[in-house]
A and B are shown apart, each in its own frame.
Chain A
Amino acid sequence: MKTFARNLPISSGYNLVGALSHIPAGRPFRAFRLWRLLTGERGLGGVLFVFVALLSIVPLARLSYAALVVQGSLDLDRIVDVLAGRRVIEATINTVWISVSATVLATVLGTGAALLVGLSDMRARTVWVFGFVLPLMIPPQVTALAWLQAFSPASPVLGPLGLSLPPGTRHPLYSAGGIVFLLGLYNAPLVFLSVRASIQRLPASLMEAARASGARPAQMLRDIVLPLIRGGILAGAALAFVSAIGNFGIQAMLGIPARVPTLITLIYRQLNSYGPSALNDMALLALVLAGLTVVGMSVTGWLGRRGDQRVDGAAHPPRLPLRGWRWPLGVLAWGYLAVCLVLPLSALLGTALVTGYGQVLSLDTITFDNFTNALFHHQGLRQAFITSLWLTVLSVVVLIPVAVALGYVLTWRRTWIARALRLASEMAYALPGIIIGVAMILFFLRPMPLIGTAAYGTVWVILAAYLSNFLALALRPILGAYGQIDRALDEAAQLTGATLFQRLRDIILPALAPAAMASAILVFMTAINEIQTSVLLVSSRAQTIGPMIIFLEEAGSSTLAAAVGCLMVGLVLLLMGISLIFAKHLPQGVLPWRD
């Protein structure tokens, strides 16, 4: 071969195809075909399928198996024993009623806010929307901590008013009602975003026709607007329910001290218990939680679909003048922000600035030790933050290209693989993070086939959990952007002979870049403070920053926890601020905090 090539006249170099055609069919060609197969669409679909399967389908299957089967046999007695236990039944009932009540609260608040923002000529709307959506971006454990501090003597709002609790009294938020209240406030922005999107799709003429028929604004709202945005309200309620039932931060921070067991805190505590079937019992509880989540989603989904009216209009709905209502509604709206943001966050800051919990914040007691400790001296905190940071960056780096490729398959291919991929990624996102955590423990507990050691207890499990958990989050803005790309652009490139990867790189990616940027921001912000999955997966070898607050609070260093919380909120605000600088270049509606 080599000699043959060397003896070729130089001119034949121009005719490489002709030269190659002399080579008898053999290995090089087969390799070439394999490469084509891998880089073609089927290959891409296959690779994505393996990715999603390994990160969500297989672990979840492993979880179900461990929940039901102990040592190779399906032991129904054990299952009944565990599920009929007094604590489990109590926790299940608590979980259901707390999540449902919190969902109702979130739905009422979120819908009201969306109607006010979407349909009225309210002033300073942009600022208000930012403030309303902000709680959603703050890690729930920080929210819980901030609310707990709101009644402490260090609170700059309630303290001077004499409304803070005297030391030793039971905190009002340490109760089931407190959990419902905080979960409701926390998830209201989810409903808000969903309902606002529905309102923006509402054609103005439908409302104007009602006015022309003699309907007053209130009648129009009742008879026309609310029925038409019902789908959006229920979709938002479904999100709020899923988020409430799986919210570990708030349920743990309030529920454990208040002795209000819920499934999620029971699973967490199960991790520390011993016994031959402790892991299997944990898996079983996780399965119950997953079942409740799916039931909740299905019920709201069914309610939403029933009689759902598809409306699509390009025109933005009219802004109704508030007139006499401007003042009362304005006071209500801004008062809400004051109560939900200023009260807890100022208290959090206040606690972070005193040396010991319970101290009154004054010029004598003010100290920055907690911040310097958190930033420079606390070895564990720094280590945890660095781990979180690189885990997050790695997640973004892996997930965004995967989401771009996955979006291509999901948007423009109607195969069963596409549908299965979508379902699997949505499933991993919708299920509470703690379930993914349990699934990952079970999946990685045994030694890995190639490496020979177990990955459990290392950061790699946390990374796997992040990838599994946030794929759907990364996918969402990208799928939205795919919907806006004219498919003919891709097809025209295909006709010129561009391969799939060339098309993705040269045609799709430039159009998708803003949305990919947005989804990178969303994943980054969610993963950096993540607690739901990592709380189960952290070990002495691998700590992330998210659960640190709970550990610090449990260890009694409330002031240090508050300082860490303040830094987390600061980081969130910084990221949101940076994203707003780029907001002009991002597609409309991908940044939830932007009106």
Chain B
Amino acid sequence: MGAIDINGLNKSFGQTQVLQDVSLAINAGEFVAVLGPSGCGKTTLLRCLAGFEQIGSGTIHVGGRAMSGPRMHMAPEDRGIGVVFQNYALWPHMTVAQNVAYGLKIAGMSRRDRHARVTHALALVEMGALAERRPADLSGGQRQRVALARCLAMQAQVVLLDEPLANLDVHLRGALEDEFAAFHARTGATMFYITHDQSEAFALADRVAVMDRGRIIQFDRPEALFRQPRCETVAGFIGEGRVIEAEDIVPIGAGRARARVLGAEVELRCAPSETRRKTARISFHPDDLDILADPHRTTASGIGADITRATYRGGYLRTQMTAGPQNRVALTMNIAAHAGIEPGQHITVTLKDGWVIPEARQATG
């Protein structure tokens, strides 16, 4: 019902092309997050989907119906798509209940049915008691709940959310994340969630589309983005990923390969199609590094490093160090807080896990 199919979408504002050949196939009922830095075009993508922007070329289908395409553009009001805005977009001259009821009123629903639907929607987001308030008298979190209730009442099959938590305090975000998840479970609607916060995207989404400079560079499950990034940009963007050079990559089957990293012999994960290569870029995360118990024992898998800085982060010590020839390579490692680590110390670390980034193919999409 609410499957979204975007094909070869291009969009320019004047000379600058903000969306380049964007294609996404989203299943009905799926929760998809679009993740990217500000200015990457993700909000424009949402606005094209909602019908606020006309597209340059390509097609958008929702639930099998053509929404935008060559020389056609369905008006936003005809699309039946719900939108939750970053700044809530509650109409200040209407009460909470009137805000939620407005779309139903436009649709011509009778007053009694409307009242029942609004009461139910407000009860679900625990805003029933504040139905007669004005938006100006609500807190940010409450406003976003009302905006959510507005979508609930409309029973839209597709809901677009444009950075809905960006204006809220950290402690409110967790609560509203739960609210969005509950909304999704309750309605089964397709959710299209724009954010620049990866923890938000990972917590909520079935699949995440990573955007950069107007392109979708990878569209995958969160753990796949984290463990098998398709390119350096994704690898560096997701989970404080680190990308460095590795040599003599030799696949050994079962999705694993041997390689030499900073002089150490290590075993890494790789794509099944990986071939023997002289050099490759690999990615790993701070948790993939570990300190060797005996710093003086040198093994084939040990990497010598000098600690430059150690910061206490509660449960762990965040350790920054330099390694490799002329100590040129900066590394970051999270280790247990009680480990006796001090700046200036020389230690040996090992790389427990890593991913060989596949060779860039000509056609990415």
Contact = CB atoms under 8 A, between A and B. Distances in A.
A203 B85 CA distance: 11
A214 interface: yes
A310 B50 CA distance: 27
Contacts of B85: 205, 208-209
Given A212-B82, A214-B80, A206 B89 contact: yes
B52 interface: yes
A291 interface: no
B93 A309 contact: yes
B106 A208 contact: no
Contacts of A208: 50, 52, 76, 83, 85, 89
A210 interface: yes
Contact of A214 (B52, B92, B107): B107
Interface residues of A, number: 23
A54 to B, nearest CB: 43
Interface string A210-225: 1111111001000110
Contacts of B312: none
A209 B50 CA distance: 10
B102 interface: yes
B128 interface: no
B316 interface: no
Nearest to B154: A213
A208 B90 CA distance: 11
A213 B150 contact: yes
For the side of the interface on B, what is the size category? 20 to 34
Given A205-B85, A205-B89, A311-B92, A215 B106 contact: yes
A335 interface: no
Nearest to B86: A205
A250 B87 CA distance: 48
Contacts of B82: 212
B318 to A, nearest CB: 36
Contacts of B342: none
A228 B81 contact: no
Contacts of A309: 92-93, 136
A401 interface: no
Interface string B52-85: 1000000000000000000000011111111101
A310 B134 CA distance: 12
A203 B92 CA distance: 11
Interface in B116-139: 136
A209 B154 contact: no
Nearest to A212: B83
Given A228-B93, A311-B92, A211 B76 contact: yes
B102 A213 contact: yes
Contact of B52 (A227, A307, A310, A318): A318
A227 B93 contact: yes
A209 B89 contact: yes
A227 B107 CA distance: 20
B326 to A, nearest CB: 45
27 contacts: A205-B85, A205-B86, A205-B87, A206-B91, A208-B50, A208-B83, A208-B85, A209-B83, A209-B85, A209-B89, A209-B91, A210-B102, A211-B51, A211-B77, A212-B76, A212-B77, A212-B83, A213-B106, A213-B150, A213-B154, A214-B107, A215-B102, A216-B77, A227-B91, A227-B93, A307-B93, A309-B136
Interface of B: 50-52, 75-83, 85-87, 89-93, 102-103, 106-107, 136, 150, 154
